[in-house]
Amino acid sequence: MPERIFIDRPLPPGFDELFGPDWEVVGPDDAELPTCRAAIAGASPWPAERIATGAMLEVISRSGIGFDTVDLDAAAAQGVVVCNTPDAPSISTAEHTMSLLMAASKFTANNVARLRAGRQDFYAAHEGIELSGATIGVVGHGRIGSRVARMCAAMDMRVIVCDPYVEVVEHEQVDLDTILNESRVITMHTPLTDETRNLLDAAAFARMQDGVVIVNAARGGVIDTQALVDALDSGKVYAAGLDVTAPEPLDPAHTLLNRDNVVVTPHIASATDKGRVRMYSGAIENARQVLAGERPVDCVNPHVYEVLEGRSS
């Protein structure tokens, strides 16, 4: 009999084939959750209350890299292993970061709007900036940030990197103050933690050079939204390209969605054809390993095994 596996958002067309005959896919209605030992988590919240409704749960497997939406301690206390797929979204997210960088710095959407409106002052009104030779500060040099850094170096940008947890050898490694002081472009590639929440706040924006371009395809919470709005109003920030926001999604009337110098996409950087296949395939494999009694490499709440070992002793 197939194993029931819960999904918290509808699958893209054809993706049910990835599960194969050994799985019966149910959801996203939470009424199905109590009947499942495994769940595939998208970006929806998994607080303690939701996890508790899955009395049979043994694994919550993220189809993505971030896990800040899952209460890891609550899951561990319940004996639920939480996994992610850290390699799967890297290529697609890095590519989308570059698209945000280009769209923001070249004012792509604004120019398209002018053309559609029938305006004729295209050349004189274009606000785009040249990136070759500009300094880009990459905050976070993990799987995605390191790829973005290489792409920017290939564009003849000066790349400086801030990441206190890795040793960067191919680019100039600096502290955050240097990033803020010297960068014409700043791109965020950090997870959302207590340390990184509102990392770019009003004080950080004040230390940046005038006319900086901000790109964020990491987590919305690493930037103080009101501080970003204020910096856009003052001209401190010249343009911004965002795939993530806080809150998320933004209200359609939010000021960030109604500015010529801001491009916002709805947290879809990783959702390419190949990227989604890698994420779901990895999440399914992680779930399979846990239910088979194996310990997955990409477990993000390893303290759960202390709970599980205590139960078996």
Catalytic option among 32, 182, 248, 285: 248
Integer CA distances (angstroms), 232 to 157, 238, 246, 284, in order: 23, 7, 16, 42
**Residue 3 annotated to the active site:** no
**β-strand partners of 135:** 158
Catalytic option among 219, 276, 278, 288: 219
d(CA 178, CA 163): 12
Show the tokens assigned to 11. Answer: 């699958």
Catalytic option among 62, 96, 267, 278: 267
Helix extents (H) in 211-262: 225-234
d(CA 241, CA 214): 6
**Residue 219 annotated to the active site:** yes
**Closest residue by Cα to residue 226 from 249, 196, 253, 247:** 247
Q: Is the peptide bond between 252 and the residue preceding it cis, with omega within 30 degrees of 0?
A: no
Query: Which amino acid, residue 164?
Result: P
d(CA 79, CA 58): 7
Q: Catalytic site residues? A: 219, 248, 267
